[in-house]
Amino acid sequence: MAMNENEQPGAKLRTDILPIDPTKIGKIVLRDDPESPLGEWDVKLDVITTDLAHMQRAAAQLKSTDIPVAFPTETVYGLGADATRSTAVRGIFQAKQRPSDNPLIVHVCSIQQLKDILCSNGSHESIPPIYQPLVRKFWPGPLTIILPNPKESPLAPEVTAGLSTFGARMPRSLLALVLIKLAGVPLAAPSANASTRPSPTAAEHVKDDLDGRIEIILDGGPCDVGVESTVVDGLTNPPSILRPGGISIEQLRKCPGWENVVIGYQDVSEKGIRPRAPGMKYRHYSPKAPVILYEAGAKRPSADIVRGYAHRRQRLGIIRTKFWPPACGLPIHSTDMEGIARGLFSALRELDKYGVDAILVEGIDDDEGDSAAAVMNRLRKAAEVRV
């Protein structure tokens, strides 16, 4: 990681939260088909505003240093670095304290930028036809596709963790798209949290985990989706979902070629494997307090169970979703997840701040909504006990 002249190895960095209003950055101007968000486009920048100056400062850091930048997407906050430079990508692993065999997703701002990766050094690779319906329907958006990595790839080898493939996504967030455009390079960007912690859906969550490890957090407000992107592999037959996320299996099955897409992930950490996508191998999404997950349909915790924690002078947090009464009918603190996907990670972090000794969570049915499978996947990976 690049350091200032007088900075010592391991020295704590000053972490600034820089507020950004996307409406005060500029406008996107499409070069080609005005009906398509996937072609080449330019940013018509506003006269210098504080918001634009913050964006330019972040882009300059991405270009010239190895210190990653935290920024919002529509899913969760990401921790970005130049995906083409090994030293920059290693800065992500260092800041997150993330295992190096866990691959990273490459974020692009246009189809052309993705084609530049696939067709580098004379290669004639292109986006496989199986993905065309998904790209047209879901990009920009919360969907990551697995692609073959060219033999002489411009991507740093740390991005793929030794795999012959890489994951690519075009985020829907205007702020994220403009940042990538200003940086002039694709960004490797996992979630901007410490490894194994709940993913960050607000700038203060990033600050809680990475204060002193990075210098810039771009604050664009809370994330819309609240869970990471869906990761799909169309290079297998049948195609598979490697990680559930903001696009559901039902949405995918409505696309030509994806009618028989299968689930290729487990709701537990898959130890002893080389992960093909982020979130497959290691324990993730965990607060400090142990999580006890009650699956959909399970009997809610009895008053005796709840009182048992009180008798041991333990603080108990409760996350309810649909059917449990507040605090399971007892006068204790609880959190109600309005907008379950958007509130999941925030609720876990909020209860950590209360210093609770355990968290009881009311689960939902995997088929209940577009993000239900993603929510339950995260909760099952966070849980120490499932009922």
Known binding residues for ATP: 98, 102, 165, 191, 199, 243, 285
Contact 244, 90 (CB under 8 A): no
In the annotated binding site, the residues are 75, 98, 102, 107, 165, 169, 189, 191, 199, 229, 243, 285
β-sheet bridge partners, residue 80: 69
At 123, the amino acid letter reads: S
User: Residue 26 is inside which H or E element, if any?
Assistant: strand 26-30
- Residue from 178, 220, 212 nearest 18 by CA: 220
Cα R_g (the chain), whole angstroms: 21
In the annotated binding site for L-threonine, the residues are 75, 107, 169, 189, 229
- Residue from 167, 166, 155, 170 nearest 73 by CA: 170
**Main-chain dihedrals φ then ψ at residue 24, nearest 5 degrees:** -110, 20
Per DSSP bridges, beta strands 165-169 and 105-107 are: parallel
- C-alpha to C-alpha distance for 362 and 384, rounded to whole angstroms: 14
Beta strands in 98-172 (DSSP E): 105-107, 143-148, 165-169
Burial class for 304, CB neighbours closer than 10 Å (0-12, 13-18, 19+): exposed
